[in-house]
């Protein structure tokens, strides 16, 4: 089944998003050309209509990922899905992000024009000393949830937890969450852009507050919240030259790679998405460095990575 098409690594041209809370580290630390000093998001591997990545070079240069998904399904193992199922982002938060929550597939299909729901996970790329973020809440039942939100009891409501560089966090639909200023993450998520904003710290954009989505938030927030212990995974740094599994859920499987000189494995998934977080080296002889994002197609076969690199890989969960 292996042929030359399936041997070609698909490098992405990321799409950048400006946000009031964004910063400039995507330029200063990642070397990307960004549109402004308030660039919050790098959509690194995306086929979403709000940010569709183009292929950087080779046979498919200039084609978008959504186009490739439609026209060359065998590159992705002929997966039965009407759209590329995942979206990979780097997020640079200079300021706190709004407190938000996402719907699941059922709620999104019904209330958001057939969109997918959003399950996401974060690998913490960088965080200040003593950083915290918001994950979950302290309401014990639906009545308390309504009371806390409608009466603005935010300090009681929001559950802030300490995190550090290298932590990994799974965010199921219905989980209240927010990244705080100074934190940088790599996000692996379902291909969806549906977010309900619960609270925005009373901030103004062009003199006006951003829209909140209180009713939809109350519909979808899980009460009580999942425990902190079940949400945060402390990733082992000492596992080298292996696919170190971080999470496997209904939508994706994510691994951390700590490449020290030489790592080999077989690419046997429908496709494998890879992001270089640190370092440089080669993959099957081609140069790769921090900030590169690419897809190894179906049937790619043997993978050989050389150098000193920190990487995140992901694919869809099939079972």
Positions marked active-site: 197
List the structure tokens of 277.
């977080």
Strand partners, 315: 253
Instruction: Scan for tokens 């496709």, then name that residue.
Output: 271
Please state, in angstroms and rounded to a whole number, the distance separating the CA atoms of residues 100 and 176: 6
Name the residue among 314, 299, 319 with its Cα closest to residue 247: 314
CA–CA gap between residue 87 and residue 289 (Å, rounded)? 20
C-alpha span between 312 and 189 (Å, rounded): 13
Residue 8, SS3 per DSSP: coil
57, 288 contact by CB (below 8 A): no
| Alpha-carbon span 248 to 244, nearest angstrom | 11
C-beta of residue 172 within 8 angstroms of C-beta of residue 109 = no
Q: What's the Rg (C-alpha) of the chain?
A: 20
Residues 81 and 73: their CA atoms lie apart, in Å, by 10
User: Among 52, 86, 41, which residue's Cα sits nearest to residue 184?
Assistant: 41
> Is residue 124 within 8 Å of 246, Cβ to Cβ?
no
Contact of 9 with 296, CB cutoff 8 Å:
yes
The angle formed by the CA atoms of residues 194, 253 and 182, to the nearest 5 degrees, is: 60
Alpha helices, H only, 160-297: 214-220
Query: Distance (Å, rounded) from C-alpha 150 to C-alpha 143?
Result: 11
């Amino acid at each position: 089944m292996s042929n030359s098409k399936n041997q070609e690594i698909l490098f992405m041209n990321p799409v950048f998003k400006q946000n009031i809370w964004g910063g400039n580290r995507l330029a200063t630390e990642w070397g990307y050309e960004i549109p402004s000093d308030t660039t919050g998001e790098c959509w690194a591997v995306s086929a979403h209509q709000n940010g569709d990545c183009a292929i950087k070079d080779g046979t498919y240069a200039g084609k978008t990922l959504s186009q490739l998904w439609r026209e060359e399904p065998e590159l992705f193992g002929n997966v039965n899905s009407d759209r590329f199922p995942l979206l990979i982002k780097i997020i640079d938060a200079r300021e706190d992000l709004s407190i938000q929550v996402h719907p699941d597939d059922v709620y999104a299909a019904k209330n958001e024009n057939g969109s997918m729901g959003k399950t996401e996970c974060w690998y913490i790329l960088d965080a200040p000393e003593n950083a915290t973020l918001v994950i979950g809440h302290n309401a014990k039942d639906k009545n308390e949830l309504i009371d806390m939100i409608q009466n603005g009891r935010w300090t009681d409501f929001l559950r802030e937890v300490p995190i550090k560089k290298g932590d990994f966090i799974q965010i199921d639909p219905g989980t209240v969450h927010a990244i705080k200023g100074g934190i940088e993450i790599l996000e692996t998520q379902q291909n969806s852009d549906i977010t309900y904003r619960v609270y925005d710290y009373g901030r103004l954009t062009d003199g006006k507050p951003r829209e909140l989505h209180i009713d939809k938030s109350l519909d979808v927030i899980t009460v009580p919240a999942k425990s902190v212990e079940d949400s945060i995974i402390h990733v082992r740094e000492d596992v080298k030259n292996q696919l170190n599994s971080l999470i496997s859920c209904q939508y994706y499987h994510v691994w951390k790679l700590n490449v020290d000189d030489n790592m080999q494995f077989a690419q046997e998934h429908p496709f494998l998405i890879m992001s270089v977080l640190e370092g440089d080296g080669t993959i099957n002889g081609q140069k790769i460095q921090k900030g590169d994002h690419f897809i190894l197609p179906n049937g790619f076969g043997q993978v050989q990575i050389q150098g000193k690199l920190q990487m995140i890989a992901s694919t869809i969960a099939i079972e």
